[in-house]
Structure 1
């Protein structure tokens, strides 16, 4: 399989040494978000649960393959590469996406206690790994002289996924100090990702303005910007459902609505650029998974916002976006299997 990272910037030696990279876990993220987003769609719960089961199998397969193929030397070579290192954000998000699916959907099959145990385990592992990538990967980039691309967001998005997933877990904690601590921790994780995103996105825009789009294989990564936007809307409004602080609901609606507007602007920009590039030729690579998970976070964010602000418009948009998400997932999954 081709790498999720832009091919022209990855040293040949790194590709040969580590053909099985952390970028492959983007397929788990994409499949998982189709399942979790489907949980809020009317009439799709059973189908979404089957997609979650498929995602569990995919995660198990990739983790087993990683344990068999990765050595400390392999991991170091991946972290040493300025592009592949960014995609170490994918494994923690893959873990937490599967865990959230267990709580939202898998509980129908395995029972709530088992679903909670699985979600807590994957959330804890994903949060710890995600905090590590949020520090270590940006630290590796200091003084590197590398130009920013949208993949730089990958290692800093996991804490936002932790915030959204943690909000669902907090609902199952007893009222009191434990729930409050969990919610406060989720807001702290929210802040880690939000402010890191605010630092990185302007650099991405500056590169686009000054240096252009670059190779066609990098164009799908522009959709990654939707990841922290959609996930933050989701997190803010899910946390509003676990009220332990004054003003949580108001913050979720205000922040969510403002960010949702910018997210739609980015969808328009990314769509225009993608269509223009496709007309000239957009070769398939695993970068195409960038079309899936980020768009899925916008679906979950729109759905979560619609719960806080009962709106036929928001509900309708979430359904339309979910339809686009499913088409994107089927297309990318099929092309991946053909290429694999």
Structure 2
């Protein structure tokens, strides 16, 4: 074998190695991009503008999602043991349902453009997410041993992600199905919120690379507010509790910024994106229901912050990929 052949073989092995270590946490990027798309749709509605920018973002998000799905499918074919390892990992297993959440979010964003396709994609995403929730929940209560240090806000993704499904259900008349998923999401939010705070208060601090997942605390009440309004159509005391809970968690995260700003980049940073989008959308919706000009301005400020966060995350992700700082053995 020539030196050139050896070099080619070595390069090929490195590429295969990177594929083997391609993390399912990449699908958190889709949640962030889809969240930006939905926030843009809500801003366009608030301003009375046509859905042009959001359509472009939707296309970009869908293409990115397709590429990531293809890469991960290739990983599953060539490195099934690596996928099994992620499933057995107490944190990474929680990112598998981010795939079905991606379908649900894309379906939600597709609503203004193709209602029929939106419902079909939503049905697929809802079914997949229910299956993922059952699988992860069965693993939690099965024969595997989990300890308090394994717990992080990332655990919200599988079960509390169900709270996204009612948004489309409320718009399309699938009311009972919407309440089914809403009930799952709310109950697990309360249960997991209690467990997560117990872990944060009475056990060792989160590992540095998982600190950005604290931002996920904002998402359940913010999304829950949007889903609840989609189902009932008007503000009531429970809707207000959901919205202001999201605001409170946002304030908590603001106090953690000095600590969060010092940690090195990891794919977990994408946890900043979707919760920020959810809070932005819920603020625009609350402003619409209360006819509040200050809240409308607050929504625009949050949208500006969301755009900056997404741009920063895309830049840091591209830089990390170029420097081969991702897709490495853990």
TM-score, normalised to structure 1, is: 0.81
SS in 2 for 1:213: coil
SS in 1 for 2:259: helix
Whether 2:143 is the aligned partner of 1:160: answer no
Deviations, residues 113-163 of structure 1 (Å, cap 9, x unaligned): xx1232123211211121122222122123523222101101113311111
Structure 2 counterpart of 1:34: 36
Whether 2:327 is the aligned partner of 1:328: answer no
Structure 1 counterpart of 2:277: 296
- Displacement of 1:201 in angstroms is 0.7
SS in 1 for 2:291: coil
CA 1:100–1:316: 2 relative to 1, 3 Å: same
- Displacement of 1:306 in angstroms is 2.6
Deviations, residues 228-247 of structure 1 (Å, cap 9, x unaligned): 11110110112234xxxxxx
Range with bigger deviation, 225-234 or 63-72: 63-72
Where in structure 2 are the equivalents of 1:259-270 lying within 5 Å?
259-270=242-253
2:295 aligns with one of 307, 314, 319: 314
8 Å CA contact 2:152, 2:206 repeated in 1:
no
1:79 aligns with one of 79, 87, 102: 87
Give the Cα separation in 1 of the matches to 2:19 and 2:105: 28
Where in structure 2 are the equivalents of 1:1-12 lying within 5 Å?
none
8 Å CA contact 1:17, 1:74 repeated in 2:
no
Whether 2:11 is the aligned partner of 1:19: answer no
Give the Cα separation in 2 of the matches to 1:91 and 1:296: 18
Structure 2 counterpart of 1:131: 130
Whether 2:51 is the aligned partner of 1:45: answer yes
Q: Which runs of 5+ in 1 are unaligned?
A: 1-14, 108-114, 171-178, 242-248
Give the Cα separation in 2 of the matches to 1:208 and 1:86: 18
8 Å CA contact 2:39, 2:280 repeated in 1:
yes
Structure 1 counterpart of 2:230: 238
Q: Which runs of 5+ in 2 are unaligned?
A: 1-16, 322-330
RMSD: 2.0
User: Where do 4+ consecutive residues of structure 1 move more than 6 Å?
Assistant: none
Structure 2 counterpart of 1:245: none
- Displacement of 1:18 in angstroms is 4.6
8 Å CA contact 2:35, 2:105 repeated in 1:
yes
Whether 2:68 is the aligned partner of 1:67: answer no
TM-score, normalised to structure 2, is: 0.83
SS in 2 for 1:292: helix
Where in structure 2 are the equivalents of 1:184-263 lying within 5 Å?
184-241=176-233, 249=234, 252-263=235-246
- Displacement of 1:299 in angstroms is 1.4
Range with bigger deviation, 30-39 or 142-151: 142-151
- Displacement of 1:74 in angstroms is 4.3
Deviations, residues 37-94 of structure 1 (Å, cap 9, x unaligned): 1112125832222111110110111122222221454443322111110111210111
Give the Cα separation in 2 of the matches to 1:21 and 1:132: 21
Structure 2 counterpart of 1:102: 110
Q: Which has the larger radius of gyration?
A: 2
Range with bigger deviation, 210-219 or 262-271: 210-219
Q: How many residues align?
A: 295
8 Å CA contact 1:163, 1:186 repeated in 2:
yes
Range with bigger deviation, 316-325 or 132-141: 132-141
Give the Cα separation in 2 of the matches to 1:277 and 1:61: 30
